Chain A
Amino acid sequence: MLAYTVQRLIVALSVAFTVSVVAFFLLHLSGDIAISIAGPEASPAQVEVVRHQFGLDRPLVVQYLDWLWKAVHFDFGNSFYFRDTVVSLIASRIGVTLTLGAISLCLSLLVAVPLGVLAAVYNGTLIDRLALSFSVIGQAIPTFCLGLGLIILFSVTLRWLPVSGASTWKHYILPSIALGWYAVPAVMRLSRNGMLEVLSADYIRTARAKGVAPIVVIFKHALRNAIIPVVALAAVQFGFMLGGSIVIEAVFSMHGLGYLAWEAIARNDFPVVQAVVLILATIYVGLTFLADVANAFLDPRIRLA
């Protein structure tokens, strides 16, 4: 178990390192940053001043190491556009995005896993077909369409829920449904296929031969084994939700990390973009690592290997 954890940790750290390199150099590939900062009307001399002021005249490797060193100490410098440090900007926005992502993930798992189990247990019946059609529809509707549709129905027509913002828990209901919806089809199909495979396994027959109740066979013997790949997928989906919430945050005017990234990109606010990319990527890598560890706990063949 320890060897496995260390091995996964090393993998995670090397991915995180690679991401940091990509995040740093991507911006330098997008043109001369000094010119962008100084503005279109600046003279070459002014550009040189800016270049020196921001340390952009140093070798790239030095710039990268300097940036990374500060980044691991949570110092991403100042925003070019907002009159604030990058860290305090992110700190004020990340809560909305994490809350939205967590609620969406829980919602989608609560719908998708039971639906997948149901479809597998009633394989080939009407229930199975309904569940599959539901997942196809889910995949076919873009999140922003669903978001707008929900606003029209529940906020504008029925007036049950607020249209936009993120100030109370009610504000999170519609965006969470819209965002969580996106993960339902994939998770549902993986649960269904996993359950189908496990339900035809020899050990399920053994359990039935013991006279165990069907509900115990399904949940104790089958789901426990079928859920293992779902955990890894859920981690990936959570990462997608954090990154993909940019659309939902824009539709519902929630000032989260995605919205911040969108604003920063529109205004060439490089330090903010870099920091958001790095933080989202790091969270993503962290989630994958946690999923690996969770899998080891669920599967004794990994844990005790």
Chain B
Amino acid sequence: MALLDVQDLVIDIPVGGGVLHAVSEVSFAVERGETLAIVGESGSGKSLTSLAVMDLLPRVARRGAARLAFDGIDLLKLPERQMRKLRGSRMAMIFQEPMTSLNPAYTIGNQLTEALLCHENVGAEAARARAIELLERVGIAGAERRLLQYPHQLSGGLRQRVMIAMALMCKPDLIIADEPTTALDVTIQAQILRLLAELKKELNMAMILITHDLGVVARVADKVAVMYAGAIVERGSARAVFKAPSHPYTRGLLNCIPVPGRTAPGAPLGAIRGQVPNLIGRLQGCAFRNRCDFAAPECAGAMRFESPSPGHDVRCVRLEAQKAVA
């Protein structure tokens, strides 16, 4: 049984002129020790998907699903009080903005030990020891001194390390990292990713990595789900998706990345023409069809997943046609 099983997740947000279908029919599963990368551009619904798993969606958003289970626990029916016991202890989250995700009024030590003190029956001294241990593990020198410091005294990279340590305090089974490296310098990005990959392996955690950076995905993910306009358009093992990207949107994304040695200097990078569709109101057919080179009348009809290889699913009815053109 998968650690996290999501089937047909739907997130609707009522807005002025109707209902915004931010996420529709998203299904994926994550096993223990596995990293799933959810890839997509801003507004594709990837962050909302992760917040829906944690039940931390904004109050106006409505969540629905055929199944949303964590380690066999049905999260859809779980009362908030029970959900709170899972949050921070068995499933933890690392956020995108290390600069604003720490409370400016409290010390690092206070914020690190908080989750442990509220979920487990440990003393302040034991919590402090665990915080020091984790700060050292995430590569922060002088951990004891750092505990007494405030967020504004730390650099962005250090703060993100603190956020990671904070998420690990209760040894979670699942860790959700929402664009953990976006706000950081490129040099720090690689360090943080390596650290996350190591920790995941060491603690046998499952990880969901939310990102728009396919380069990041290639380095750390076992499985990939590509989201577009609130729906998954392609999912499969990282190997399969990178070797044989089958949805035109995935291929478009990959074409946008310069590859050292293959992309000629000065050559224009790929671009996807057109714009993301408006998600207010019900969208029929494939959301990508107005930007797609292979679009045909049937793309406006019902969508289904095709499998070019076992475990590799593509939400496209024109796979055969694509092959013919290629």
Cβ of A2: which chain B residues have Cβ within 8 Å of it?
Answer: none
Q: Does the CB pair B115–A201 fall under 8 Å? A: no
A224 at the interface (CB under 8 A from B): yes
Assess A207 versus B103: contact at CB under 8 Å? Given A212-B118, A300-B150.
yes
If over half of A's interface residues share one DSSP class (helix, strand or loop), that class is named, otherwise mixed; here it is helix
Contact of A211 among B84, B103, B163 (CB under 8 A): B84
Task: Indicate if the CB atoms of B87 and A209 lie closer than 8 Å.
Answer: yes
CB pair B103 A300 closer than 8 Å: no
Q: Does A221 contact B (CB under 8 A)?
A: yes
Q: Judging by beta carbons under 8 Å apart, are A212 and B93 in contact?
A: no
Contact B92 A209 (CB under 8 A): yes
In the complex, whether B304 has a CB less than 8 A from a CB of chain A is no
Docked CA distance A304–B152 (Å)? 9
Within 8 A of B (CB), among A209-258: 209-213, 216, 221, 224-225
Q: Tell me if A300 and B152 are in contact (CB < 8 A).
A: yes
**B171 in the interface, Cβ–Cβ < 8 Å?**
no
Contact with A along B241-256 (1 / 0, CB 8 A): 0000000000000000
Is B85 in contact with chain A by the CB < 8 A criterion?
Answer: yes
B95 touches A299 (CB 8 A): no
Report the minimum CB–CB distance from A5 to chain B (whole Å): 19
Q: Find out whether the CB atom of A225 lies under 8 angstroms from the CB atom of B95.
A: no
Chain B's nearest CB lies how many Å from the CB of A281?
33
Interface size class of A (residues with CB under 8 A): 20 to 34
- How many chain B residues have a CB neighbour from A under 8 Å? 28
In the complex, what's the smallest C-beta–C-beta distance from B292 to chain A, in angstroms? 36
Decide if A211 touches B56 in the complex (CB within 8 Å).
no
Known A211-B84, A211-B88, A213-B118; contact A203-B100, beta-carbon cutoff 8 A? yes
Instruction: Give residues 276-290 of A contacting B (CB, 8 Å).
Output: none
Does chain A have a CB within 8 A of B287? no
CB distance from B308 to the nearest CB of A (A): 37
* A211: B residues at CB distance < 8 A: 84-89, 115, 118-119
Task: Say yes or no: B100 contacts A202, CB within 8 Å.
Answer: yes
What residues of chain B lie closer than 8 Å to A299, measured between beta carbons?
Answer: 104-105
Interface residues of A, Cβ cutoff 8 Å to B: 201-203, 205-213, 216, 221, 224-225, 298-301, 304
* 5 A-B pairs with least C-beta separation: A211-B88, A211-B87, A210-B88, A202-B100, A210-B115
Chain B interfacial positions (CB closer than 8 Å to A)? 54, 56, 84-89, 92-93, 95, 97, 100-106, 114-115, 118-119, 150, 152-153, 163, 166
A-B contact pairs, 13 of them (CB 8 A): A203-B101, A205-B101, A208-B56, A209-B88, A209-B95, A210-B88, A210-B115, A210-B118, A213-B84, A224-B103, A299-B105, A300-B104, A304-B152
